[in-house]
Amino acid sequence: MGRPIRNIAIIAHVDHGKTTLVDALLAQSGIFRQGEAVPSCVMDSNALERERGITILAKNTAVDYGQTRINIVDTPGHADFGGEVERVLGMVDGCLLVVDANEGPMPQTRFVLKKALEKGLRPIVFINKVDRPQAMPDAAVDKVLDLFLELGADDDQCDFPYLFGSGLGGFATADLAKGNDTLQPLFEAILRHTPPPVGDSDKPLQLQVTTLDYSDFLGTIAIGRIHNGTITTGQQATLIRGDGAMKRGRVSKLLGFQGLRRLEIQAAAAGDIVAVAGFSGVNIGDTIACGDSLNSKALPLIKVDEPTLQMTFMVNDSPFAGQEGKFVTSRQLRDRLHKELLTNVALRVQDTTSPDRFTVCGRGELHLGILIETMRREGYEFQVSQPQVIFRTMDGDICEPYETVVLDVPERTVGGCIERLGTCRGEMQNMATSGDGRCQMEFIVPARGLVGFRSDFIRMTRGEGLMSHSFLDYRKMEGELQARHTGVLIAFETGVATVYALKNAEDRGQFFIHPGTRVYKGMIVGQHTRPQDLEINVCKTKQLTNMRSAGAEELDTLQTPVEMSLERSLGYIGPGELLEVTPESMRLRKLPSRKPAKR
């Protein structure tokens, strides 16, 4: 319990190499046996994280360097999961800011650095990926300093230590001319520049819960940092909730971290990060204090920025309802959404006047999309409405959220991107070209203009563009935005789509379905070429007669249908339309009250 401790969070923009750097730190700390198979991105344990190649949940690990225990927290890099970053920064005393040597600081770099500076942390800057051909490490350091000054950092914070290196290559150095082949300089910098945790082991216990886990054997597991006092297995303690209510309990199990494992320990002291079992109904931000109610004091609650986007989750009432899902009732849907609130601090769930509908508020399309994808994989069946931004009234004016958007695109696609963001009321702030035929542009765009923009952006840049965005602030609402240009094709009857019907209707638009897809009346099956909606019969079959036509033996070929992924579907649906989500499929549909023109 008396050994030196350092608590540090690794923060950066998405894809700048945080998780890969943690892999290298774990490997070089000696926690893996010689010859042991170590997967890449070992901290991304969630299936969705591995599929998408992003970090969604903040996770912590611990390594030993010499006689010092270093607790490392890996955080998400995407702006939609900023709530994960905000709640874990209170666990640490320092942070390691990872910046790509080629791209430099990006929107999420600004967001996470601002939060770290507000907490009074002094970051260590690691310029990553210096072994790449286009790397400009010295320019990246200058850009980081400009960002520090822009965010109002004090003199001590602006005098930040910085290192160059590569998480993938597993090396760090203070001088590129000298070089190095290990991360030892980074370990030394962490020990030298990260202050030891403040806290008094002799004071009454105070542990703030920042992460929740669950075990079938231990129940709810609360993970957090001990701010004061000591905690031992079997001791009596008091759980202080966010509303001030107190509940007595006993520490049934105490776990410490070592690499990727949790080890049972008997005691821990101020400054350490531990996992505690034995308290039911615990929430993020609650305080586990000493058993003496007179000395039990709660720590300040964790504050996170408010959500900017909302959707309505509702029970599926389509003609195919209940055929593919395991959990389909309003009670099951409500229980699952409220369970998510226990661990997702940036999420808000509100009941509506209808018992079958719930308003869910989040940080962005990806934040809500990950929740929807997780629920459908668990067997839930439901439907969601079009995402809407959350407006606020400030000084008598209706205000809306604005975001900073950075696009890195091939030069040939610059015009199309500028024109598309212009229709969203986007304002260009900066534009720079590089020698490799790419261009980087920075815009300020209303958040409602970005709903559905990502799928258009991928199509315009043919998958070669990089897009990132983060919340900027609330500004006065500036008029209406241009809605979707085209209408939709709607199934006229329930049945199975046929090649014959789809072939005959190809001139009407582009389809979202394949032949053999089950459809129902009111289901959206494609995009119309004209502004109005149109009902068509996609189940019509060819009449079987004994007559032969000149082209009877020709093989019919269909245009490739548009694959509507979850994110693309959320961005596509408009007012009066819903996305039906089941474990096996996703379907777009019209609300029954709307009656489009009939063919």
| Numbers of helices and strands, H then E, in the chain | 13, 36
For residue 351, give the amino acid letter: D
- Would you say 16 is a known binding-site residue? yes
Exposure of 353 by Cβ count < 10 A (0-12 exposed, 13-18 middle, 19+ buried)?
exposed
Tokens of 476: 């006065």
- State the Cα–Cα distance between residues 9 and 94, nearest whole angstrom: 7
> d(Cα 402, Cα 388) in Å, to the nearest integer?
13
Residue 20, marked binder: yes
d(CA 213, CA 5): 24
A 10 A CB-CB count for 74 gives: 25
**393 assigned binding-site residue:** no
Alpha-carbon torsion 390, 394, 396, 402, what sign? negative
312 a known binding residue? no
Token output for 115: 């939060």
Q: Residue 586's closest CA among 380, 331, 332?
A: 380
Q: List Cα–Cα distances, 272 to 3, 60, 208, in angstroms.
A: 10, 12, 11
Flag whether 130 is marked binding. Answer: yes
Give the torsion through C-alpha atoms of 414, 415, 417, 419, to 10 deg. 160
With 0-12 CB in 10 A as exposed, 13-18 as middle and 19+ as buried, what is 508?
Answer: middle
Q: Beta-strand (E) ranges in 26-161? A: 59-65, 68-74, 94-100, 124-128
* N- to C-terminal Cα separation, the chain: 77
The annotation status of 115 as a binding-site residue, yes or no, is: no
| C-beta separation of 270 from 201 below 8 A | yes
Tokens found for residue 291:
């058993």
Whether 544 and 552 have beta carbons less than 8 Å apart is answered as no
Torsion angle defined by CA atoms of residues 330, 335, 341 and 342, in that order, rounded to the nearest 10 degrees:
180
Q: Is the dihedral of CA 205, 211, 214, 217 positive or negative?
A: negative
From CA 498, how far away is CA 519, in angstroms rounded?
11
14 touches 52 (CB < 8 A) = no
The dihedral through the CA atoms of 221, 60, 231, 340 has a sign that is negative
CA distance 123 to 137: 17
| SS3 per-residue string spanning 555-585 | CCCCCCCCCCCHHHHHHHCCCCEEEEECCCC
Please list, residue by residue across 421-445, b when 16 or more beta carbons sit within 10 angstroms of its beta carbon and e when fewer do.
beebbbeeeeeeeeeeebbbbbbbb
| Cα 321 to Cα 516: distance, rounded to the nearest angstrom | 19
Name the token pair of 348.
Answer: 């808000």
Q: Which residues are annotated as a binding site for GTP?
A: 15-20, 128-131
> Which residues belong to the annotated binding site?
15-20, 128-131
